[in-house]
Amino acid sequence: AQRVTQPEKLLSVFKGAPVELKCNYSYSGSPELFWYVQYSRQRLQLLLRHISRESIKGFTADLNKGETSFHLKKPFAQEEDSAMYYCALSISGGYNKLIFGAGTRLAVHP
């Protein structure tokens, strides 16, 4: 069965510290993976998708098929990065059905 696991409910760091939000997935097909972010009282926004291999707001994520992971990283956290982060898996089949992880709350302290 398809599944996305985000093992940490809360990640608390100080400003300037490196951040890694973990995401592991379970899917036998060819995965497409995304990171979504939800800032306080705002809608979910797409942060990253693995196929574009881009860096948004200093965040990067690399798909590791061997470890079935798609961890989100940022070398120096900022206070404005505090938000809920969701990892999502798109399963193939001709449309974008997304399987979400439970989310990790990132709290960046001054």
Partner 1 sequence: NAGVMQNPRHLVRRRGQEARLRCSPMKGHSHVYWYRQLPEEGLKFMVYLQKENIIDESGMPKERFSAEFPKEGPSILRIQQVVRGDSAAYFCASSPPLSGNGYTFGSGTRLTVV
Q: Which of 53, 65, 97, 109 binds partner 1 (CB under 8 A)?
A: 97
Q: Which C-beta is closer to partner 1: that of 1 or that of 67?
A: 1
Q: Which C-beta is closer to partner 1: that of 11 or that of 15?
A: 11
* Dist CA 91 CA 32 (whole Å): 7
Angle in degrees, CA 69, 71, 60, rounded to 5: 130
Q: Which of residues 41-70 bind partner 1 (CB under 8 A)?
A: 42-46, 49, 51
Contact indicator for 21, 88 with CB cutoff of 8 Å: no
Asked if 99 interacts with partner 1 (CB under 8 A), we say yes
